[in-house]
Structure 1
């Protein structure tokens, strides 16, 4: 029997990739898998939320997953500007131990958070996942 192939958490990997990439370009933002706090007592800070769908295998050793990124900016223009930067960074052939690269899907698209009324922008990319052997250690 050959070693089984698994794919690690693309959501966390994308979060980490974006944290590094945004920092390199001097963009101060919270990048998280959680929604932002909308407590009026807390000063507004740029927030980027990363969510991923289920990884879909093409073959035993290849898989893709859609990654949805929501940018919560100061206003619609700020959200769209940062979402464009996020998309450009992810499409610039960034890689990690988990992700082989990203391809475009949709966005950036302006919107409004239905729960809070905060302006947002949405980007969806497709992550090409890097396979990993599951070993009996």
Structure 2
């Protein structure tokens, strides 16, 4: 289960989403090991699909502040069921989080689903693939 502060932060970020085309507002918040919180929201663009996901925005904010490790991340949307991160965001999350880090997906009505990064992205592409034999 996600930390209530992280969930509230994701919900607040969702309110600032720019989604005039899909009307599907998404917010994300992540916590670093030292307790810092970073938020992101989806930002659509008329040149579909050139938008930015909420998770990517939160990760970019963390990196901009010098952070490089995710301890927990929550994604929230107004959906009947918790919405998982897209494939690209799963890889972005995996860049900064270990396999055991919890990703919580939540609805505005309070439904949640929590999975580890390893469960969301088995067989992820990693730095090991970049090593030359």
* Same fold? TM cut 0.5: no
Q: What TM-score do the two structures reach when normalised by structure 1?
A: 0.31
- Structure index of larger Rg: 1
Task: Return the structure number with greater strand share.
Answer: 1
Structure having greater relative contact order (Cα 8 Å, sep ≥ 6): 1
